[in-house]
Amino acid sequence: MNALQRIPGIKSQTAFNLKRWDEIGRDPLVKNWPGRVETDRYGRPIMMCYAEFSHGGRQFDIGTQLKLHAPAGKVTVECPISTSEGVKVADVCWVSKKRLLQIGGRTALKGAPEICVEVISPSNKRGEIEEKRRLYFEAGAKEVWVCDKRGHLLFFTKDAPEVAVSGSQLCPKMPKSVDV
């Protein structure tokens, strides 16, 4: 038997991710972890430190602004999303009702909401945020926003995922920055 297994396709990766996410969620050590948990593509938990005060404030502020300015849909924070590289947790998301019917899951979404937002923390590395942006687009996001350490939002679209644009196409009235 070959020691190297075939890399699964996205559908089987999603099924694996969702099953593993449910297993991890039942683990008492993980449930009591004070920080964030994600997984890699092999289902191994990635335990991260808790966020600082301003991080949660920015999540709340972005979510509040999305609720005010986005079309009808659902706004959530700490959103677990199945990707080709495991389950990643977006800081804030907006998803339309139609999209939610397609990607909804029990404990993690089967794909990315239309808008995924990452709030930069001191522990984040540049490549980490770029990788998450790529993974969210690959999983179906139409826009990925990055909130920098000063509260300024950078908007990226699926059409031009490497270059920040002047504002959101899905939520054009979204402010360009949030304050804590």
Structural domain tally of the chain? 1
Q: Nearest Cα to 94, choosing from 142, 160, 134?
A: 142
CA–CA distance from 12 to each of 3, 38, 110 (Å)?
19, 18, 11
- Is the residue at 4 inside a domain? no
pLDDT tens digit sequence for 128-156 = 999 999 999 999 999 999 999 999 999 99
Confirm if 90 and 117 have CB atoms less than 8 A apart.
yes
Q: Nearest Cα to 153, choosing from 179, 123, 114?
A: 179
pLDDT tens digit sequence for 93-111 = 999 999 999 999 789 999 9
**CATH code, domain carrying 126:** 3.90.1570.10
pTM, two decimals, is 0.90
- Is the residue at 177 inside a domain? no
- Is the residue at 1 inside a domain? no
Strand partners, 80: 89
State mean pLDDT over 78-104: 97
Range of the domain at 157: 10-165
